[in-house]
Structure 1
């Protein structure tokens, strides 16, 4: 530990020494732009809203503290022919040299931005503080008194458009007494435009709306008028009223090559007509006409509606049999108000085979796994996606006690799922199924596990629905029926005698018996960022919420009570002589991301869950219990190494380190280092508890007067390799507060750290939250 401390001190000393020479490559007569700050005299105008107008920023800082890349650049020598100097300059950042013209441009754009907020008399002054060869730049913003909208008038000569605007007036962004904010005025133009685009005005855009603003001298009051301009064709001189368009013919072109957009590139040699729609295709129509009609919201005779166009795009984007969709509108005649719509479809590759190889490491036992998958994305010409997957794994297990018949682990698995791009349920009307744009999934899984201690078979079947809303910000999933069957055909006699026949280890014994789990559930996920992602980095502040509720065994228990079903020796009702689990479980997780600047952000999350066994069970099945520690939990502990409560743990039985209640919280400071590498500093807290007191888990029961003393705390740092399509994460965590100990130096390893005892390393894919 002392050696590690010396290394940290040495690195800090090196960074300090380099920082003293941060102007090494700043030419004489020039200045290093050391810091830029914005000060405003109005709390309604926040500096963060003006930072985007800064044209020149200082060298980036790691964790908002150290200009590490500048220091790396300064390590390089003057001889650019040496490879080490070229590498250091490529990895590092050259010093940012202050340019007055950029500062003046920033001041001008910032002034205009504040004036657009309604502060027409705003001014921005620059203040420079020079120290040796460094300069600190301050932009001082004086907003002045805001202009206020006194009256609002509308100059709308078109009666139909005026009526549509009045019907939609409840959503207006304009009000008398508001600040004369140009951004709000522009948002109102776009809102009106969206409304008109949804009511047939195909050629309308916000440039046909304009404002005039009259101000009285020295009053800071504005009389605002919104004008509707007449329609003018591009290049034309005459003007006319805006026209509403209706949909004429609707056709599908199913073999469109998106890479060749000319009309001559469309290969068609056959067609058919179905319910007033036309279908043009080459050789064979690979999708059923009914499927295409069900996903279409642009219908002949309807007014043009931009919202229905986007909904049609969304629906066809869900079909895995298609790669691209493009919708074209053509006027029937130059003076006509009818639009013919053509939905151009590009076919995807319907069949594919993939192979996977992976290495495994379970508590030091190394192994390998391989899988092969086959996928058909258009099984019944309805964009049904069939997936077949076969997996095998082998692991060399550490030597066990004598008496076991073999010392290796093997696993064989098969999985089949089929996804239908529609809501499938009997007795539902066609209109309802068109409204609920859900996908239906059926699945079957089989898993065969052979260990030295036992052989286990897990078979399951599922029926679920999924759908998303509002540009994929909201995601819903309903598990209508999920049946799992756990079968233990063989258990080693020595393992049964030592671990299962002891009554005090009831949790272990319960989870090594044949059992049915018949469950239903609902999960909801909301991400405020939606699709606003770029290279896995959020473009702004965002948050996400995840809620999951599930219940198992309630219906079976009710049927057993009604039919007077007999119980087995353990007092459990059985289905086909197999007891079934009964529990209710709920989870909630909230995460928030604050963007500090374009290289730094602060993220935190808090979550919790509880699983309650009742009726036919006194224990929740292991697969549904909680565990703590690991890459996505309290990272000072390895996976399944923490809890429950103050329980010390048993390395020979990881099932004992599971619980019925879980609390988790994390704070993480994230920074972009260089290239595709990102860094993080984090603090985690949490634990798990049981609802009941078990002899095999002393100290694990949740109690209101003691649980807060049993919350574990860890801290650490991580490196993330962002490869755009996925993120590789390496986290190193240290224990800070260990709930195993009630007091003493061992309870607070943050004060008395022991690297071999308190350190945990984690490798994972993706961010922890």
Structure 2
């Protein structure tokens, strides 16, 4: 039955895309079927591919068809441009009549509403006439060879090579045609690259010359490296930034020129940098700052401004209704009277004042008197209360479930720039029971919390630290919360209290979090069958039941996130993210007597936990990106924990953001043989995950991914109930699970919907010699029961 379903799906897919790409082409028209570049040895081949004006349509392997083209053709077949033009003419006539009525005597409410609708209709029609209907915008037209674009591509490649040091480069192309298909081959002759022999600076201003000499090591133009045109652009920007940070308020990169002298014999260049004088002066002016003025204006003209001018740290404050702390605000202003003008300090001031989340905008202007600047900072209050309600669906295990969330934000709670946040979330979700006979069961979750965020570090920091650390956006969060989870096998409640410090570097490349206290009182109510299962495991030597006893779990932890090149914001740039996390649980118990935890009604835990999570994007072409993730985790109980961790502190392998060929939390540990069709969650103390993914644009909103995941979890000690679960150096590499598969994503920019199909390739839960199972997938599609796993998710897996 399952085989028939999959076969029918594939047949339907082929029927939809059955139209040949070359069908219907006119005489002399050829489909761009394949494009290659030959002759590249030292230059950037990926950048050269980006110069190609016509690239082949994405095709289904082994079949001369494209789903994107089929969708476009369907849209073109159903699109009537004449009908759209007639509609546009009718609406334009109606709009002219309404505008004339408005000019003669004005429009009533109904007519005004109609005019707005007509304008909206016209905007939609213009979009349709330019880009076609939905199917045409989603799909892709056939790429028919255009010799002019092919010639232009070759020329652009030559320009690119010349701009990157290959001055003698030549480009050509050849086209071979067969059965209405064109194979284009671009031929590259790079020649010898030109290297930078020397870099000189020419300036009549001794102060500027001295600044540039001192910063010469940071220059973007490197002697001995291949000449690069973009390096001059970067160096021009660097010089402008350097001078603007040293008082040169009116300086701009338009004053910087470059001369490049070629030596065709030695294949080298000499780069000369010239700093031109201002038109009406022999020198560029250096500006210093006068006193600073800071103003918080009323929200609108309807409010009466009862503020009074006050002074603090050489800053003149004019605060609307006297609602704000001069001390806090001044700690985020990095401009000082008598100091040189610095654009970096201006940007930091604007950024850190905005980070307070108190103001709608932050504008900084300057009054100029001679060589003196008086900074004026103008702001306006943000709304006092912000309420957000959200209704949606989420998924972590099996099927999506609805959720509702409510959040309240109260700004400037105690008039010291504090932020009060209240959060509530309730949801349902489908999960697999640990004790049921299969199927999907309902899980209910409820979370609520209240927190106050202070724009400074509280105790035990000295008073002067407020100004010293203001540039790093310091925050102290105090939180109290409650969570409730109702699963088929247990009900779990927790009351949480936390105090944490957060800060980041000026460039936001590093973010730090230190949780000074994370205390949780936990109570569990176990299903009778689940309790019997845990009790049976205890009799066999597994103390997992202790993780579900009424308990007190406290810890201190720290985290640092290294974010390079805005990872997560863009997938077109090479970017990476590295998260390091360390946690120590029950630390204070090391300083009390051993009998402190004896005969207590609550269970206590001591543990150490570490996690390293590294992620990276590597663009290959403008349509393809290679991404990977390496995740390593260690969690070790000790002391009073009796060899167990709090259940939430264990690692779990498998699922839509892990090894996708296994169901969530069901992989491992080690070579443990899963029982009863992976129905049991498998907690581990050691985690290793490696995820490798090739992402490619298909058409419109649709993307595809091809992935290989590998990893597993292990325990530190032998587990009598799970033979082979412990980590051993002489066999762990034989227990690394491998899964592969494909994914389909719909990327709407603001939301990514994801479907991944994972297939087990190497299953460590099977006997040695029988662990390679990918051949069974091809032998009897879709393989044995449980070999193919579907994962639905929101957002990218990493």
1:341 is matched with 375
1:717 to 742, 746, 749: 742
Q: 1:500 aligns with which of 490, 514, 535?
A: 535
Q: Does 1:30 align with 2:56?
A: no
- Native 8 Å contact 2:567 2:575 kept in 1: no
2:271 is the alignment partner of 1:247: no
Q: What displacement does 1:12 show? A: 8.1
Q: CA 1:688–1:325 in 2, change beyond 3 Å: closer, same or farther?
A: same
1:413 positional shift: 4.5
Q: For residue 689 of structure 1, what is the aligned residue in structure 2?
A: 714
1:427-452 Cα distance to aligned partner (Å, 9 max, x none): 42334333543221111112356678
Query: 2-side partners of 1:30 and 1:310: how far apart?
Result: 55
In 2, the alpha carbon distance for the partners of 1:399 and 1:213 equals 71
Residues 462 and 666 of structure 1, relative CA distance in 2, 3 Å threshold: same
Specify every segment of 5 or more residues in structure 2 that has no aligned partner in the other structure, as ranges.
84-131
Deviations 1:146-174 (A, max 9, x none): 34444443321111111111221222234
Output aligned runs, 1:596-675, within 5 Å.
596-617=620-641, 618-649=643-674, 657-675=682-700
Secondary structure of 2:344's counterpart equals helix
1:409-428 matches, cutoff 5 A: 413-428=447-462
Equivalent in the alignment of 2:480: 444
Alignment of 1:180-329 (within 5 A): 180-215=227-262, 218-232=265-279, 238-255=280-297, 270-275=307-312, 276-282=314-320, 284-329=321-366
Equivalent-residue separation in structure 2 for 1:151 and 1:560 (angstroms): 68
Report the counterpart of residue 471 of structure 1 in structure 2.
507
Change (3 A) 1:256 1:106: farther
Query: What is the TM-score when the length of structure 1 is the normalising length?
Result: 0.85
Q: CA deviation at 1:459?
A: 1.5
Distance 1:507 1:64, change over 3 A: farther
> How far apart, CA to CA, are the structure 1 residues paired with 2:3 and 2:679?
33
Q: 1:179–1:358: structure 2 CA closer, same or farther, 3 Å change rule? A: closer
CA distance in 1 between partners of 2:361 and 2:773 (Å): 58
Cα pair 1:25 1:74 within 8 Å, conserved = no
Deviation at 1:198, TM superposition (A): 0.7
Cα displacement string for residues 235-289 of structure 1 (whole angstroms, at most 9, x for unaligned residues):
xxx44310111122322232388xx9xxx9999774413222223455x244322
Query: In the TM superposition, what are the counterparts of 1:142-181 in structure 2 within 5 Å?
Result: 142-181=189-228
Q: Give the stretch that moved more between structures: 408-417 or 668-677.
A: 408-417
Distance change >3 Å, CA 272–CA 757, structure 1 → 2: same
User: Structure 1's 711 and 498: CA in aligned 2 closer, same or farther, altered over 3 A?
Assistant: closer
**Residues in 1 aligned to 2:343 and 2:567: alpha-carbon distance in whole angstroms:** 20
**Is the alpha carbon distance of 1:602 and 1:369 closer, same or farther for their aligned partners in structure 2, counting shifts above 3 Å?**
closer
Q: Is the Cα contact below 8 Å between 1:255 and 1:266 reproduced in 2?
A: no
CA separation in 1, counterparts of 2:362 and 2:293? 13
In 1, Cα distance between equivalents of 2:16 and 2:402: 43
The equivalent position to 1:389 in structure 2, one of 423, 427, 438, is: 423
Task: Give the Cα–Cα distance (whole angstroms) in 1 for the partners of residues 406 and 501 of structure 2.
Answer: 26
CA distance in 2, matches of 1:364, 1:140: 52
CA distance in structure 2 between the partners assigned to 1:110 and 1:337 by the alignment: 48
Unaligned runs of 5+ in 1: 233-237
| Partner SS, residue 50 of structure 1 | helix
Q: After superposition, where does 1:122-141 map in structure 2 within 5 Å? A: 122-141=169-188
Partner residue in 1 for 2:724: 699
The 8 Å contact of residues 355 and 371 in structure 1, kept in 2 or not, is answered as yes
Secondary structure, counterpart of 2:539 in structure 1? coil
Structure 2 CA distance for aligned equivalents of residues 750 and 385 of structure 1: 57
Question: What residue is the counterpart of 1:52 in the other structure?
Answer: 50
- 8 Å contact 2:629–2:691 — kept in the other structure? yes
1:767 aligns with 2:780: no
Q: Does 1:560 align with 2:592?
A: yes
CA distance 1:287–1:765, shift in 2 (3 Å): farther
Provide the rounded CA distance (Å) in 1 between the counterparts of 2:678 and 2:174. Answer: 66
Deviation at 1:86, TM superposition (A): 7.1
Whether 1:594 aligns to 2:618 is yes
CA distance in 2: counterparts of 1:530 and 1:77, whole angstroms: 39
Find the counterpart in structure 2 of residue 486 from structure 1.
Answer: 522
Per the alignment, in what secondary structure is the counterpart of residue 654 of structure 2?
coil
Distance 1:172 1:370 in 2: 53
State the 1:211 CA deviation: 2.7
* Alpha-carbon distance in structure 2 between the residues aligned to 1:687 and 1:364: 20
Q: Aligned pair in 2 of structure 1 residues 708, 81: CA closer, same or farther (>3 Å)?
A: same
Which whole-Å CA distance do the structure 1 matches of 2:395 and 2:234 have between them?
55
Please name the residue that 2:110 is paired with.
none
1:109–1:457 CA distance, 2 compared to 1 (3 A): closer
Distance 1:509 1:211, change over 3 A: closer
Match of 2:104 in 1: none
Deviation at 1:366, TM superposition (A): 9.9
How far 1:457 sits from its partner (Å)? Answer: 3.4
Structure 2 distance, partners of 1:706, 1:725, is 44
CA distance in structure 2 between the partners assigned to 1:364 and 1:118 by the alignment: 55
Report the TM-score, using the length of structure 2 for normalisation: 0.82
* Residues 291-319 of structure 1 deviation map (CA, whole Å, 9 limit, x = unaligned): 22111112222111111122112212312
Contact between 1:393 and 1:412, CA under 8 Å: does it hold in 2? Answer: yes
What SS does the aligned partner of 1:125 have? strand
Contact 1:318 1:421 in 2 (8 A): no
1:373 aligns with 2:402: no
C-alpha change, 1:40 and 1:192, in structure 2 (3 Å) is farther
* 1:714 CA displacement: 2.2
Distance 1:474 1:30 in 2: 54
Q: What does the per-residue CA deviation read over 1:123-168, in whole Å, with 9 as the maximum and x for residues that have no partner?
A: 2223333335333333323233334444443321111111111221
Choose from 560, 568, 580 the match for 2:604.
580
CA deviation after TM superposition for structure 1 residue 458, in Å:
1.4
TM-fit CA distance, 1:200: 0.5
Q: CA deviation at 1:354?
A: 3.1
Aligned position for 1:235 = none
Deviation (angstroms), 1:623: 0.7
Cα pair 1:583 1:613 within 8 Å, conserved: yes
- The equivalent of 2:127 in structure 1 is none
Q: Is the 8 A contact 2:325 2:417 kept in 1?
A: no
Q: CA deviation at 1:547?
A: 1.5
Give deviations 1:69-128, integer Å, cap 9, x for gaps. 234445678685599x97765543222233333334333333233222233322222333
SS in 2 for 1:533: coil
Deviation at 1:4, TM superposition (A): 5.3
More moved, 359-368 vs 319-328: 359-368
Cα pair 1:174 1:184 within 8 Å, conserved: yes
Tell me the distance in 2 between the aligned counterparts of 1:265 and 1:531. Answer: 43
Note if contact 2:577-2:614 (Cα within 8 Å) is conserved in structure 1.
yes
CA distance in 1 between counterparts of 2:355 and 2:734 reads 49
**Does the 8 A contact of 1:249 with 1:277 survive in 2?**
yes
The question of 1:548 aligning with 2:589 is answered: no
Stretch deviating more after TM superposition (177-186 or 496-505): 496-505
Matched pairs, number: 734
Looking at structure 1, the residues matched to 446 and 477 of structure 2 have their Cα atoms a distance apart, in angstroms, of 23
Q: Does 1:527 align with 2:531?
A: no
> Does the residue aligned with 1:616 lie in a helix, a strand or coil?
helix
Q: Distance in 1 between matches of 2:424 and 2:317?
A: 39
